[in-house]
Amino acid sequence: MAAKAKLTSEQWQECKNRWEGDPRDGYMWLVAEIKLPVTDEAVRQRAKKDDWRKASHIRTIVQQAHLRADDVSGKVGTAAIDAAIDLRSGIIETHRAEWGSHRELFTLAAIATDLDLCRTAKMSVEMLRIRQEGERRAWGLDAIAAPEDHSPSSEELDRIYDNAMAKMEAMSRLANKQYAKLNG
């Protein structure tokens, strides 16, 4: 009879951290991802024994991930929040400046008299919108608009990203054609 596989305390801690920080239920996914030499039942029993608990809400995890991504290491409490706010306000200021630049490049009077310029302005604004939408999502700028009880799944985020990238590629191809037409 083979001896039961055992995990070190460090391995169990890794399992606990991974499970508590992930929105998925059950333990089979954990056993598969970490390639544990124990069954999901063994993990369930350990989780029960050690009182593993999921984070209260995935939004809390996302907020902490944003702070870590913002590299506010060494800052705590309001200093970390102030740093995160400063980073995001910089993005908002950039977005506003980009819209101002677009308005200056493509005045209503100019596009009203030039159909090609109008098409170029439309392509430009679509690419700007797609880029800024992606940045807003990446920086969590629209998080307050999301309902508290719904956080998008990784599949939803992948679909949103894929759609945005497909739109951006299509607009880029269109812009290149228009540029070639105007300059070729």
Label residues 150-167 b or e (16+ Cβ within 10 Å = b).
ebeeeeeeeeeeeeeeeb
Residues near 2 by Cβ (< 8 Å), separated by ≥ 6? none
How sure is the predictor about 42, in pLDDT bands with cuts at 50, 70 and 90?
very high
Residue 43 forms part of a structural domain: yes
184 versus 46: the higher-pLDDT residue is 46
Amino acid 139: pLDDT: 79
The rounded distance, in Å, linking the Cα atoms of 142 and 49 is 39
Is residue 108 in some structural domain?
Answer: yes
150: pLDDT strictly greater than 80: no
Average confidence (pLDDT) over 136-157: 69
Dihedral sign for Cα 123, 129, 130, 131, please. Answer: positive
Residue 140 and residue 63: Cα distance in Å, rounded? 9
Do residue 91 and residue 145 come from a single domain? Answer: yes
Confidence of residue 72 (pLDDT cuts 50, 70, 90): low
Task: Classify residue 156: in a domain, yes or no.
Answer: yes
The CA–CA distances, whole Å, from 3 to 6, 37, 43, 54, 60 equal 9, 12, 17, 31, 41
- The number of CA neighbours under 13 Å toward the Cβ of 97 is 6
Assess if residue 66 is contained within a domain: no
Query: The tokens of 17 are what?
Result: 């951290």
176 and 90 within one domain: yes
Report the Cα–Cα distance between both ends of the chain, in Å, rounded: 78
User: What is the pLDDT averaged over residues 32-59?
Assistant: 84
Same domain, yes or no: 174 and 132:
yes
Distance, in Å, from the CA atom of 44 to the CA atom of 50, rounded to the nearest integer, reads 10
pLDDT at 131: 94
Q: Do 92 and 179 reside in the same domain of the chain? A: yes
Average pLDDT, the chain: 81
- Judge if 38 and 120 occupy the same domain: no
Q: What is the pLDDT of residue 148?
A: 54
73 occurs within a structural domain: no
Residue 120 has pLDDT above 90, yes or no: yes
> So what's the pLDDT on residue 69?
66
Clarify whether residues 40 and 100 are in a common domain.
no
114 and 155 fall within a common domain: yes
Angle at 72 between CA 66 and CA 74, to 5 degrees: 135
Classify residue 37 as left (phi > 0), alpha (psi -120 to 50) or beta. Answer: alpha
Residue 61 in any domain: the answer is no
For the question of whether the overall pTM of this predicted structure is more than 0.75, the answer is: no
Tokens standing for residue 146: 């999301």
Rounded Cα–Cα distance for residues 16 and 26 (Å): 12
Query: 33 is in which domain, residue-wise?
Result: 9-54
> What per-residue confidence (pLDDT) applies to 167?
87
pLDDT tier, 1 (very low <50, low <70, confident <90, very high otherwise): very low
Mean pLDDT of the 70-89 span = 71
Q: Is residue 70 part of a domain?
A: no
Tally of domains in the chain: 2
Examine residue 68 and state whether it is found in any structural domain, yes or no: no
